[in-house]
Structure 1
């Protein structure tokens, strides 16, 4: 706890202090130049109008545009400063150019096997169209010859991961939003150090903001000293424009381009129920073995070189140690969603599942903060007879966000959507399963940050054995939940409902 407090007071409070200094400077400036108040007020009103026009000229999601318009026009000075610090979702031209350069370089390594698409088209035209859309929007192909294992609890995924790490021969790539320098990671670190001594190359990426309460600044230096090549995504630096909207929320491990892991779990003790800050923590993971791992390898290499462009040759990372023959059928498509291409791929994949469902759609998400389009698709699916069920946490990790999540219940329940709260604790799994055929397991929450602002990843499955494993996990989880009825929503106090309305107004900023 002392280490966590040191990190928080040493870095977060330093950032807050810088922002307070900036605010004091602005207040002092206004006080000093009070005699020119009318002129300054007019100037800021004009600037506010220009900023609002610029915001509404962009193709960003409409809910955020509305919020920023209200805040800036109501409080021009405060609103403009707030927008400069937290509202700008675009990277600088230089940073965007670096990302596009790296992405273009690896695009040639992502070729789609037309025979796979052709077979899929003959099998199911609707699924073909979905997977074709993912491929054309993100560049990541659909594969066969891939075995899929699904883990309904992160503890089982960790044990399998440790075993596979121990069998690595050539390289290990790991990319996580949050890493905690405690028990779970120490077990992984022990294996990584052993593999380094055997000549295996190890690379590690973590997000600075996601890990800020878990590791000290010297954590990266320690890993590098030990031979684990480590890079931090988007270090938190206190400037006027803090580039903190875009985070690397992905969770990926790649071993020898032969095996990969993804899912909802980070490398912190609470994800594996070593600690219990919010009751029982439910999270899920997915393991791929075979051809589809190539996409996860390329995702990692893109991010590694986006942070610092150093790789001039990568052929050795895109070949497997041994040939692989799948024992399962089905189609597997890992994909990455970025905030830089103006395509809301993660949200669109989810909405297409709802549109094409014929029987049921089961959803799990830790946060339910959705725009009108997503809410409409859920309601329409339920109204046409689809069994739509959503599992959300019973014990929240963020109380304000939980209140905001609950504010969406009434409209969904009235349309026939069934809402379940996970009674034992916090559910962090992000998953969809539909019609015993399709499923998505990944990192994409159903909130504005995951759907619009973060770097995310998912795995789309069709016709795989794991789809039924995912359905079984949902069916096993529903009895552990409390189903929320319309009475629960209507019995909330007037104060709570009014507060939820205010939160809904600022939902795109949370």
Structure 2
């Protein structure tokens, strides 16, 4: 018992939470005391809450997000306005917005779109052309041919392919992951990275502080640097009241020599390869590309790396000559892209909606969290009402009970509207895929939830007429055979108190 207590007292999450609670207690205690002595302060706080509610209602923001905040502000009328000032909105600092904007401008100066590809797409499929054009114009990442693609339907397959590819590195290795945890997977990768550093290969690692807060020591980047690996922590967690900690780096990117790239839902931790059991069997996926399209992933990584560098990299030092890829046969079209919370363009969500609206036969989606806004729900329901076969695969064993409760709260309306929902019976689904009409697919890091759509840095790859499309579909249908289809009777048979609890959680889901 004493050992557990000491462990808790040394836990970074616990320490930060306690420090923030202490600050909140002092702050609100002071406000209460002042309100008791000065009536005008009490009136001022009520007025502030009213003004904040008006401000939120008139913001150009997601309606569901606004409703949640207004309800919270008005229910805590004295402190509601203060709470919004401290924690409300997306809280993206101005310096971060400017940094992102500058980085995008830098990227725009080094990328260009092959107009022949866009012309070919426009002739072949106007709908696909619209999607590719959207990503090019709004995410600033081009679409490519001459790219070989491989789909990994399970984490073990990615890990099996990843190690040999790392061992082939001659010039550089870039790794950017939300979660890194010591164990079979990361230790195996680290062993290769150490050997590669000794061979003169440049190795860089970026990991997210929130994602690794319970898996890595706070100074782990120093450990990596001592090994010769260049390492950075994204957005370090700090115990401050006006925290801007919501904007996490949820991307998973591996780039080797500018020739090989990987992304998908799989982090560098043992549960992702089922060497550690958490929430039953862990079903995830990833994709590997080789060829021209790797350049987009290289730029994504360098964009993040150069944020706080006084002397920026010359990105062309890490670009392969496209002539070296001309022998790679076209496997359809491949378009890696990323999404940032610091602009007004919700690239991850809009790409999903574009694909739903483009469907003429089916839409198959996989997500660990179905925490959707009205726009996404409308798109799914309209597709189903138009006769499109819409299926969504979610976990049966959740990692977060409250998020799963919100996921389940969306079942009834969707199923009544014709959407078919499946729960992966053996365990937890962490994959993020869309596949439509045997023509296009997305594999990436974007969940169908508010955090991915509005708050996190995300990435993915859009495929058109690539073999990945049919591989994703095949894996999807095989996974459904191990899953349970949720029925309308099951939804209507839920006990009334449970329905109330889910409805309340759903109301505040944008704040989770």
TM-score between both structures, scaled by the size of structure 1: 0.96
Structure 2 residue aligned with 1:215: 216
Task: Provide the C-alpha distance between the structure 2 equivalents of 1:460 and 1:406, rounded to a whole number of angstroms.
Answer: 28
CA shift for structure 1 position 32: 3.2
Structure 2 residue aligned with 1:41: 42
Stretches of structure 2 lacking an aligned partner (at least 5 in a row): none
CA shift for structure 1 position 489: 0.7
CA shift for structure 1 position 15: 1.9
1:343 to 322, 342, 345: 345
Task: Provide the C-alpha distance between the structure 2 equivalents of 1:215 and 1:251, rounded to a whole number of angstroms.
Answer: 17
1:8-65 CA-partner distances (Å, limit 9, x unpaired):
8432222222222223223432453354353222101222233233333432222111
CA contact (8 A) 1:362 1:389 kept: yes
Structure 1 residue aligned with 2:498: 496
Task: Provide the C-alpha distance between the structure 1 equivalents of 2:51 and 2:231, rounded to a whole number of angstroms.
Answer: 42
Task: Provide the C-alpha distance between the structure 1 equivalents of 2:322 and 2:360, rounded to a whole number of angstroms.
Answer: 42
Structure 2 residue aligned with 1:164: 165
1:422-457 CA-partner distances (Å, limit 9, x unpaired):
000000000000111100000000000001110000
| Counterpart mapping for 1:301-450 below 5 A | 301-319=302-320, 323-324=324-325, 325-450=327-452
Task: Provide the C-alpha distance between the structure 2 equivalents of 1:502 and 1:67, rounded to a whole number of angstroms.
Answer: 10
CA contact (8 A) 2:205 2:229 kept: yes
CA contact (8 A) 1:45 1:73 kept: no
Task: Provide the C-alpha distance between the structure 2 equivalents of 1:121 and 1:382, rounded to a whole number of angstroms.
Answer: 27
CA contact (8 A) 1:204 1:230 kept: yes
For 2:324, what is the secondary structure of its paired residue?
Answer: coil
For 1:238, what is the secondary structure of its paired residue?
Answer: coil
| Counterpart mapping for 1:46-195 below 5 A | 46-195=47-196
Q: 1:390 to 1:405 in 2, by over 3 A?
A: same
For 2:79, what is the secondary structure of its paired residue?
Answer: helix
Q: 1:398 to 1:300 in 2, by over 3 A?
A: same
CA contact (8 A) 1:245 1:454 kept: yes
CA contact (8 A) 1:382 1:417 kept: yes
TM-score between both structures, scaled by the size of structure 2: 0.96
| Counterpart mapping for 1:291-302 below 5 A | 291-302=292-303
Task: Provide the C-alpha distance between the structure 2 equivalents of 1:420 and 1:295, rounded to a whole number of angstroms.
Answer: 34
1:384-406 CA-partner distances (Å, limit 9, x unpaired):
11111110001000011111100
CA shift for structure 1 position 72: 1.3
For 1:323, what is the secondary structure of its paired residue?
Answer: helix
CA contact (8 A) 2:93 2:244 kept: no
Structure 2 residue aligned with 1:478: 480
Structure 2 residue aligned with 1:460: 462
Task: Provide the C-alpha distance between the structure 1 equivalents of 2:83 and 2:163, rounded to a whole number of angstroms.
Answer: 44
CA contact (8 A) 2:12 2:214 kept: no
1:303-333 CA-partner distances (Å, limit 9, x unpaired):
1112445424222111259812223431100
Task: Provide the C-alpha distance between the structure 2 equivalents of 1:5 and 1:478, rounded to a whole number of angstroms.
Answer: 45
Task: Provide the C-alpha distance between the structure 2 equivalents of 1:67 and 1:307, rounded to a whole number of angstroms.
Answer: 35
Q: 1:158 to 1:402 in 2, by over 3 A?
A: same
Q: 1:5 to 1:322 in 2, by over 3 A?
A: farther
Task: Provide the C-alpha distance between the structure 1 equivalents of 2:4 and 2:439, rounded to a whole number of angstroms.
Answer: 47
1:172-228 CA-partner distances (Å, limit 9, x unpaired):
000001110222100000000111111100000000001111111131111011011
CA shift for structure 1 position 74: 2.4
CA contact (8 A) 1:112 1:141 kept: yes
For 1:76, what is the secondary structure of its paired residue?
Answer: coil
CA contact (8 A) 1:4 1:213 kept: no
CA contact (8 A) 1:333 1:460 kept: yes
Instruction: Figure out how many residues of one structure are paired with residues of the other and give that number.
Output: 509
Task: Provide the C-alpha distance between the structure 2 equivalents of 1:357 and 1:4, rounded to a whole number of angstroms.
Answer: 54
Task: Provide the C-alpha distance between the structure 1 equivalents of 2:11 and 2:153, rounded to a whole number of angstroms.
Answer: 37
Task: Provide the C-alpha distance between the structure 2 equivalents of 1:30 and 1:77, rounded to a whole number of angstroms.
Answer: 10
Q: 1:390 to 1:464 in 2, by over 3 A?
A: same
Q: 1:360 to 1:298 in 2, by over 3 A?
A: same
